[in-house]
A = this chain, B = another copy of it.
Amino acid sequence: MNVRVGVIGVGMIGQDHIRRITQVLTGGSVTAVNDVDAARAGQVAAGLPGAHIHDTAAALVADDNVDAILVASWGPAHEEQVLAAIAAGKPVFCEKPLAPSSAACQRIMDAETAAGRRLTQVGFMRRYDAGYRAMKAALDDGTLGPPLLMHCAHRNPSVPPYFTTEMSISDSAVHEIDIARWLFGEEITAATVLSPRRSGQAPDGVRDPLILILEMAGGALVDDELFVNARYGYDVRGEVVCETGTVALADTSEVTVRTANRHGGRVPVDWRDRFIRAYDTELQEWLDAVAAGTSTGPGTWDGYAAAAVTDAALEALRTGQRTAVTMPERPDFYAKAP
């Protein structure tokens, strides 16, 4: 089956997903696009033979030639667009965040629960990275014993001018928030943010680096270094410490070079360099699941939980205090597969 995808939001990320669906993956095609910038929608559609341009997201969702929706618009628009897809009974892939507030995520949960079918996948692509998958497999096979701690680092070489300290939480740490929930199979109950000495490389007004400490429901702790002006490269580190061993992301350089009294490998230049394969796998598995009529990836509950933890972490950043996460029990509707 060929999944006919309608893409809402065709900026950088939307275009990258369109390239992926049309030039890299199998089983999907882009049959409709929509963007708040009509000219941009037109330019993108020009490269997609047969694709229809819709004036509104609602019209795109309603299009009979659209089987599934990919939302890559800006965050504040997500809620309305995802709700429209749910109302139409169409599967929707929504880039993170699912919605900018946990209240908005709650409304999406309510709608989806009422509709009676899990239709939403949220773009937490790290779950599709070969490194994190090998880490999860090592944890799940049990030989290392129960996990007690996780040490993370999330280092970007630099940030754009509009970057704010809050974005280190909402845009960067949200990845570790989701991955910790996924690896531990538990919710996060509290967050604390520490502010080390500020890097002289950070733009005015940005506190960088930060240390985020997350408390898991079972008592494990996750520390996460967020350093968005690390200069030397894009480097995502992670080690889970268990009762009888540890598992850590390895360096991913394909070759070792020896020259000038050094041996070593390459550090990725940016997130695309590091995670491009994870994005490919993520969207391929989404297309496969849509074609199969199933839902396999991180869903609305995961989007909601990430938003709730992000809210607590932002509060912790503001106040300097440990902040509990406010969140209900996971509903049966979103129960994990047994």
Contacts and interface: CB of A to CB of B under 8 A. Distances in A.
A211 interface: yes
Interface of A: 22-27, 130-131, 133-135, 138, 143-146, 148-149, 151, 153, 194, 196-201, 209, 211, 213, 216, 218-221, 223, 225, 227, 230-233, 235, 241, 243-267, 269, 284
A108 B223 CA distance: 39
A247 B257 contact: yes
Given A149-B209, A199-B148, A261 B241 contact: no
A258 B253 contact: no
Contacts of A253: 134, 250, 263
Contact of A249 (B199, B232, B254): B254
A144 B232 CA distance: 9
A270 to B, nearest CB: 10
A255 B134 contact: yes
Contact of A245 (B130, B135, B231, B245): B231
Contacts of A261: 232-233, 266-267, 269
A244 B209 CA distance: 12
A60 to B, nearest CB: 23
A215 to B, nearest CB: 8
A131 B254 CA distance: 5
B209 A130 contact: no
16 contacts: A24-B284, A135-B254, A196-B219, A196-B221, A199-B243, A211-B221, A211-B223, A231-B244, A245-B259, A247-B255, A249-B256, A250-B253, A253-B263, A261-B266, A262-B262, A263-B265
